[in-house]
Amino acid sequence: MPANDGTSGKGGSPAIELRGLSKQYGSLRAVDGVDLRVQRGEIFGLIGHNGAGKSTLFKMMLGLVAPSSGEVLIQGRPISGGDFRAIRRGLGYLPENVVLYDNLSGLETLQFFARLKGAAATQCQPLLEQVGLADAGHRPLREYSKGMRQRLGFAQALLGGPQLLFLDEPSNGLDPQAIRDFYRSLQALREQGVTVLITSHILAELQERVDRLAIMAAGRIQALGTVQSLREQQQAPLHIELSLASEADVLFASQLLDKQGLPGLGLQQRAQDCRLSLSCPREHKMAALALATQLGSRLLDLKILEPSLEDLFFGLGDAARRPA
């Protein structure tokens, strides 16, 4: 494992350990030699292009798809071993596409899944309340919106109080308030020591909410770490945005910055709203700020923006792209 992957370094067996995990479908290598450790109590994000192998990786970790080679250990125990059923009982899974029966009510649906999972039926009503469906529990699912179905799917994943949660695009169809509530409940679970693996294509949503993440492409992990460690690994430039008093000041500022010739400084003038954006290598941040202070009263405001997860994803270039 790379040293700079932001691993928390907590003791004990990792919640999940993958060793050389691969899955071959005919001539397609859907997952290709993945090594990974996720620590207990981590919220771990998995991102990547369509078909990168995220769901297949999830299904192998859940024991739903047999690996072609490699090994999955859950809390130090192999998922394929004799205690498979006991291990599975400690896992919660929200699949990408939840299959639900339209004629059952929300409560009946949860009770059905509780029976399958061997969980107490008394958990169902409190779980409906937890996901904001208390008032809809007796309505048939054919009357549920997409977001309500997704919330019910989340409640289903929480049945039995799992210590490990696998959530495949859980915020799909949720409105902004529901997304916020959903991530708050993930934080609460994390504080109780629950480990959460989550996939999403909405990178801005994951950026501030995961402890670490892996970027997958073509079945492989291309980058791994905290968002900050990925910024450092990639040496991703910062964005500095200057607001100036007039168009003439924009010109003055860009000439001043140009004259200093700091290497790698990308200048973009937006004269129409008196802004100047710089893409600035990290090591020149202080020099660029020192230059900005020379602008005196011409400078009205200054913002420093760290590269977003989306910037980092696209910064990987071909390594993050879907094979043609």
Ligand X SMILES: Nc1ncnc2c1ncn2[C@@H]1O[C@H](COP(=O)(O)OP(=O)(O)OP(=O)(O)O)[C@@H](O)[C@H]1O
Q: What is the DSSP letter of 319?
A: G
Q: Nearer Cβ to ligand X, position 56 or 229? A: 56
Q: Nearer Cβ to ligand X, position 48 or 132? A: 48
Rg, the chain, Cα only: 24
**Smallest gap from residue 290 Cβ to ligand X (A):** 44
List phi, psi (to 5°) of 258: -60, -45
**Cα distance between residue 160 and residue 117, in whole Å:** 7
Strand 16-25 and strand 195-199: the pairing is: unpaired
**Cα distance between residue 205 and residue 151, in whole Å:** 17
Task: Tokens for 177, please give them.
Answer: 């308030």
Q: Nearer Cβ to ligand X, position 98 or 253? A: 98
**Smallest gap from residue 39 Cβ to ligand X (A):** 23
**Smallest gap from residue 57 Cβ to ligand X (A):** 7
Q: Nearer Cβ to ligand X, position 163 or 200? A: 200
Q: Nearer Cβ to ligand X, position 52 or 230? A: 52
**Smallest gap from residue 197 Cβ to ligand X (A):** 12
Strand ranges of the sheet holding 16-25, from the earlier edge strand across to the other edge: 28-38, 16-25, 69-74, 77-78
**Smallest gap from residue 189 Cβ to ligand X (A):** 23
**Cα distance between residue 107 and residue 136, in whole Å:** 9
**Cα distance between residue 131 and residue 139, in whole Å:** 15
Chain residues binding ligand X by CB under 6 A are: 25, 28, 30, 48, 50-56, 96
* Residues 176 and 202 sit within 8 Å (Cβ to Cβ): no
**Smallest gap from residue 59 Cβ to ligand X (A):** 8
Strand 195-199 and strand 164-168: the pairing is: parallel
Q: Nearer Cβ to ligand X, position 41 or 53? A: 53
